[in-house]
Amino acid sequence: MKLPDTWMACAALTALTAVSLAQAPDTAIVKHDFEGTDHGWTALGETARLTLTTSEGTFKNGKSALKFEYLVEAGEPAALMLPVTQAPPTTLKSIRFWVKSPVAMPLIVVLQERDGGRYQATVAVPAGVWQRVELALSDFSLGTDANDPKDPNNKLDIDRLEAVALADLAQMLVGGLEPETLDMLGIKTGARLFYVDDIEASTAALPEPVAAAGEALIDGFARPHLSWVVTGPVRAKVVEEKPLDGKGMRLEYDLEEGKIAAAMKTVMPGALAKADRLLLTMASAKPTSVLVQVEENSGGKYDTIVSLDGGQKLQNLTLKLADFTPSNDSKDDNGKLDRDKIKQIVIADLSFMGGGAGANTLWVGRIRAVKAD
C-alpha cells in the first residue's frame, strides 16, 4: 500500500494535538477510547470525513467511537491517519482495536517509519459486526511495491514510528483494475464507511503459534481476525470447528454468475526461501477443484490444483513447489519460481472460474512451509 506523499505533507502542515498517552497498569502505552475526543486522528483525502459517533450500534464500548466516511472511486485516495508526535518505546509489542463496517471490507493497517519503510497488515472485516483486531508487530510486513519507500535495514523500528493509518484496500484497487475485473472480484464503487473503537498500543505480547522443527508457519490462525483478503462474495471467518482439527478459516459463498471465490494472503519476505513444499489441511462441502497459487514480487505467478472430495472430508495436502507451473497471466522476469521472492498465496475454488453460479463452503487449516532436507 502507498500513502501518497501529499497526505504526509498535509498532515505535517496541519496543527494537530499530540498523541495522548494514558498509562495503565494493564501494559497499555496508548489508549484511545474516543470518548469526546478524536485523540488526533485525521481524515486524509478530499472527500473523506471523520466524526465522533454516538448513535446506537456505532460504538463498541463507552458512548462514542470514530466514524470514517470515504468514497471508493478511482482518484479518490482516503485513509484514517494518526501522526505520531512522540515515538513509542521499543517495548511496544502489540496493537488492538475494534472495527465495524456495514459491508465486508479488506482493511489495511499501516505503520510508517520516519525516513524508513512502510509496514502493513491485512484484516478481513465482516459485514455488520464488531471485529476484534489484535496485531503483533511481527504481523506487519514491509511494503515492496514500486512506490513504497525503501527501508535501510528492512526491519520495523517501532521507535521511529511516524504515522499509523487505516484504509480500505478496495479503495486502492479501483484505480488499478479494469471494471470487468472489479466486478468479478465483487468490488463496488461508491460511498463507504467504517467505525473504530478502543485503539490500544501495549507492551503485552500476543501468543505466537509455534511451528514444528524444519517448518515455517504461514498462518496458524491464532488471531481473532482473519489476515486474508477475500473476494466480495466470500464470507470469511476464523473458526475452530469440525471438520478442522484446530483453528482455521471458513470460506462461505453463494456466487452469482461471473464472480469468483478466492482468498489471498501476504507472505512475509523470505518465508519460503528455503522451503520445498507447503503443508495444509482443507475440506469442502461439495466436491471441487481448488487452485493454490504463489506470486512473486516480480509478478511471476505459479499454480497447482488440488481435488477435494466434498462431504466436509478433511484432507491433508502436501504441495511440492517444484510441481507449481506458470499461470496464464504470469509476468515473471526470469521464467522460474524464486522462492525467496514469494509475496502472496492465493486459494480459489475453480468450480466457478468458468462463470457459473453456485454455493460452497471451504475450510482451510494451518498452512506451513517445510524446508528442504
Domains and their CATH numbers in the chain: 20-202 (2.60.120.430), 215-371 (2.60.120.430)
Report pLDDT for 26. 65
The ranges of the chain with pLDDT < 70 are 1-26, 353-356
Asked if 19 and 30 count as a contact pair (C-beta separation under 8 A), the reply is yes
106-156 confidence digits (pLDDT tens): 999 999 999 999 999 999 999 999 999 999 999 999 988 878 899 999 999
Element (H, E) at 104: none
Cα distance between residue 98 and residue 34, in whole Å: 12
Cα distance between residue 118 and residue 74, in whole Å: 22
Average pLDDT for the chain: 90
Asked if 221 and 366 count as a contact pair (C-beta separation under 8 A), the reply is yes
Report pLDDT for 7. 39
Give the count of beta carbons closer than 10 Å to the beta carbon of residue 125: 22
Best CA proximity match to 52, nearest among 41, 329, 131: 41
Asked if 210 and 221 count as a contact pair (C-beta separation under 8 A), the reply is no
* Cis peptide preceding 269, ω within 30 of 0: no
Sign of CA dihedral 331, 144, 138, 6: negative
- Whether pTM > 0.85 for this model: the answer is yes
Asked if 195 and 107 count as a contact pair (C-beta separation under 8 A), the reply is no
SS3 assignment, position 29? strand
248-295 confidence digits (pLDDT tens): 999 999 988 878 899 999 998 889 999 999 999 999 999 999 999 999
